[in-house]
Amino acid sequence: MFWISINRLWTDHIKEMEGNGLITFSDRQIRVPKLARPVYMISGGMSQFARAFPRKKTEELVIEAFLMMAEILGMSPLELKSYIQAGFYGHFADHFGDQLLGEALIHDRLGLDPLPGMGVKTGGATGGYNMWAAMMAVASGVVDCALAIGWERMDEVPTDEGNNYIACAADRDWETYLGHIYAGYYSPMATRYWEMIAQKDPKFRETLAKIAVKHRGYALHNPFAHGGKMITEEDVLNSPLVANPLRALDCCLMSVGSAGVIFCDEATANEIHKKAPHIVPLRVFIGVGTHTLRAGDRRPMEIPLLPHETLEMYNNYPHRYPGFTSFLATRIACRDAYRMAGIKDPLVDFDLAELHDAFTISDLQSYEDCGFRPYGRGREFVESGDCYLINPHTNLPGRLPTNLSGGLIGCMHAVGATGEMQVVELALHLWGIHGQIHGDSKRWEAFGKEKPEDWLDLSVPDAKCGLGISHAGVGSHVAATILRKEAA
């Protein structure tokens, strides 16, 4: 057996391991990332999301998102642009938009030439990594204010060809030929988890269905979302089979749209805050991790621990780690982000989270990788009611509501914009304007929708800290973004 030792370097607890094959890291490689100066989020915006926008070009959607950033601050687009010193752009697939170097086109259409601009591409984590690049630019002092904006154009090919394109984000020689569909890589994870960790418990399948019901239900109250639907667990279990055990309603949407954020240094944040006192600058901490493109290449290793975990917790964990049931990249991203932000216990320190629910199983796997529950016990996060805005068992607020936007299953998965969408949604809660933005009847009307009569304000009261997980492939890249409202 090949083991990689990590905890012996990351904790004081040294576990000696025998035999060959230890991957060791130098202290330099595993140091906790440190920002040279604090970075703040000062605005964010989104376009409407839909399966198709036959009447809009990509640049129209990107500018729609940018206009919302200006609207939130009560500024004209021209005034907001006057702060921006560089643009960071992300779209997952040139194929979909049939446009190489789309970053240059969008930079131009935003009128930011000849300022610095660059593209970032890390699959489904493009949004998270794009913000990471912007954070680093500000933290380093290279710029004082950066725009990070993403988009995806997924409507210009039929769905089966879209599935083929997405499957090209697997290893083209060893995986893509096998079915040309991405659900083919996630369903084996679900099978392995269900059979080996959940011990074939039929109720586990129902737990996955609850996630789909929750996310599609929350999306009904989000005017930006296009997958809102009132469904039952039975509907999920009876929806068309995609790849056993995952069914159509377990899977995320294929979307078009754009979302973006503005990051800046403290001086710029204070200056903008003076003009827009209702927008409190939010501290930004982003940790990132990677793992092999092919899930099968993941050599067994120790479980890297988060601050609230101990080695003893996993003394009797009988499963290959990470195997097909966990995402090491998420764990590494959280490990870094939690330490950067001083998070001691995610269930206590976070008020809400937006996770990468590409499939219901990946949402559940993420509960464990993020430390909401120990490995092997992720389902308890749903079954306890902790993940809901209102715990259905107690009628009291859930401990850590997740994916109130509707997530990728209910809101959108316009791949290059997804990470930013999650973070914009978190920020709206932290700024205390989530209900105002989502409940604005004019916005519903502008999007060609009728605001539901039973519209619910899903704002998390007095939210101060949130987590967003931006995730690529079968966990090849993950960015964990923490937003925190600092004490006045």
Of 86, 148, 183, 411, the one binding another protein (CB under 8 A) is 183
Instruction: Closer to another protein by CB, 294 or 308: give it.
Output: 294
Token digits of residue 176: 């893509």
229 binds another protein (CB under 8 A): no
Nearest distance in Å: CB 6, another protein: 13
User: Which residues fall within 8 angstroms of residue 150, CB to CB, at 6 or more apart?
Assistant: 89, 90, 91, 126, 127, 130, 258, 259, 260, 414, 416, 417, 418, 419, 420
Shortest approach of another protein to residue 10 CB, angstroms?
Answer: 17
- The minimum distance between CB 157 and another protein, in angstroms, equals 8
d(CA 357, CA 199): 23
Q: Is 295 in the site for another protein (CB under 8 A)?
A: yes
**Does residue 152 bind another protein (CB under 8 A)?**
no
Can you tell me which of 8, 81, 180, 464 binds another protein, judged by CB under 8 A?
180
Cβ closest to another protein, residue 28 vs residue 200 = 200
User: Given the rule CB under 8 A, which of 21-29, 66-74, 273-281, 475-483 is the region that contacts another protein?
Assistant: 21-29
Q: Does 25 bind another protein (CB under 8 A)?
A: no
Nearest to 351 by CA among 483, 215, 463, 218: 463
The answer to whether residue 199 forms part of the interface with another protein (CB under 8 A) is no
Candidates 79-87, 263-271, 278-286, 289-297; binding stretch for another protein (CB under 8 A): 289-297
Number of residues that bind another protein (CB under 8 A): 61
* 322: preceding bond cis by omega (within 30 degrees): yes
Which listed residue (9, 112, 157, 276) binds another protein by CB under 8 A?
157
For residue 444 the two structure tokens come to 């519903």
Task: Tell me the DSSP string of 257-311.
Answer: EEEEEEEE-HHHHHHHHHH-TTS--EEEEEEEEE--SSGGG----PPPPPTT--G
* Buried-exposed string 273-292: b where 16+ CB fall within 10 A, e elsewhere: beebeebbbbbbbbbbbbbb
Instruction: Strand 282-290: give its sheet, edge to edge.
Output: 117-119, 86-90, 145-152, 257-264, 40-46, 282-290, 477-485, 465-471, 352-354
Q: Which is nearer to another protein, 177 or 486 (CB)?
A: 177
Structure token digits, residue 6? 């990590």
**22 counts as binding another protein under rule CB under 8 A:** yes
195 binds another protein (CB under 8 A): yes
Binding residues for another protein, rule: CB under 8 A, are 2, 20-24, 48, 50-56, 98, 155-158, 160-167, 171-175, 177-181, 183-185, 187-189, 191-192, 195-196, 241-244, 294-300, 324, 447-448
